[in-house]
Amino acid sequence: MKPDGQIIELSPSNTLFKKIIGGNGYFGIVLSGLFKLHKVDEDTKQAILYGNDMEAAFNGLQSVLESKVFPLISEFVSSPEILPGKFNQLENMINKNSSIRWATIIKGNFEDVNNFIQIMLQKTDCSYKLLTEAEFQEYIQERSAFALLVQTSDNSANYIAFPGFEDILSQPKNLPEIINTINEIFNAHNFHRVIFGYGHVNFRKGKGLLLHVRLPVPIDYFYKENYEKINDICETIYEVIITLQNHFNIKHKAEHSSGPFLIWLNQNFRKLLSEEIKNGTAFENPHLNIYNELNRLLESQNGIGYEDRIKQLFVAAMSLYLK
């Protein structure tokens, strides 16, 4: 359904198709759709690979991607200290005295799984174990539970895994530097380092490893008497997003919907959306209206540069939302 209420049918050849698919509902609302599914191999193999050296593991995964080995499923978990739960119980065949700090769980046809294992064995010291389907599901469930887990260097408080920049799509070889950069920003804003991450190895068939990392925020930051601390959260999120963009060319929200973030952080998109709304080809958008109102207020203040103004707008809007 288009903004004028007209209902049309679209195919991929239509110029409007890409605006609707992945368009956050700005240009039209999908009422129904037809999907083509691909047949999955019935004869599959499952395995888990694990080891201690995280940097070597990321380099190994880089070689897997460059070799275009894409199993049906490949999930990754890592910690600079020690993996928790079932992963910590794996027997380390390489060095029994070292902790397991990374693991990847894979499933696919026999050729893909065997090639994945061989490349990793060549590129990094690691152990591996073939899994039954039941064991594979147990590890996948354990990895999924980590989406709710916040591990930090401090165990004396409860934390909320706060989103905002959590989908980091990058070549695996760059992730050690990216993780260190994020933790430096956390420390500079008096937050604890994150010591656990998880992600998808073969995201979008070769575009990289999609790592999920979230800001560990103490629960009491959200108490009404501590509302001044919310600005610390918002400024930290903003700095991570801008640093990832400027230093590593990483777009925010690589997997999840970018939603209002496009409006707050992308000048070209704001201009496009404004024009489309005027033409009646996009819906009125409350985030754009809020942005324009706040921007008018800040423009009336002298001496504020463009970058500082954008930061103030972002922090003000996110702070109001959280409060």
pLDDT (tens digit per residue) in 133-144: 999 999 999 888
Q: How far apart are CA 267 and CA 265, in angstroms?
A: 7
Domains of the chain and any CATH numbers: 17-31+257-322 (no CATH), 45-148 (3.30.70.3450), 159-221+238-248 (no CATH)
- The structure tokens listed for 57 are 């593991």
pLDDT of residue 276: 94
Q: Which residue has the tokens 């064995």?
A: 121
Q: In what order do the strands lie in the sheet with 73-78?
A: 127-131, 45-51, 102-108, 73-78, 197-203, 208-212, 167-170
pLDDT of residue 40: 75
**Each residue's pLDDT expressed in tens, for the chain with a length of 323 residues:** 999 999 999 999 998 898 888 788 899 999 999 988 888 778 899 999 999 998 999 999 999 999 999 999 999 998 877 888 888 888 776 676 678 999 999 999 999 999 999 999 999 999 999 999 999 999 999 888 776 666 666 666 678 888 878 889 999 999 999 999 999 999 999 998 887 788 898 887 788 899 888 888 988 998 989 988 999 999 999 999 999 999 999 887 877 777 788 888 888 999 999 999 999 999 999 989 988 988 888 777 767 787 888 888 889 888 888 88
Q: How far apart are CA 169 and CA 123, in angstroms?
A: 22
Q: How far apart are CA 47 and CA 114, in angstroms?
A: 9
pLDDT of residue 313: 87
Q: Which residue has the tokens 């992600």?
A: 199
pTM of the prediction? 0.84
Q: HSE of 213 in the Cβ direction (CA atoms, 13 Å)? A: 28
Segments of the chain assigned E as strands: 45-51, 73-78, 102-108, 127-131, 159-162, 167-170, 197-203, 208-212, 215-218
| Pairing outcome for strands 197-203 and 159-162 | unpaired
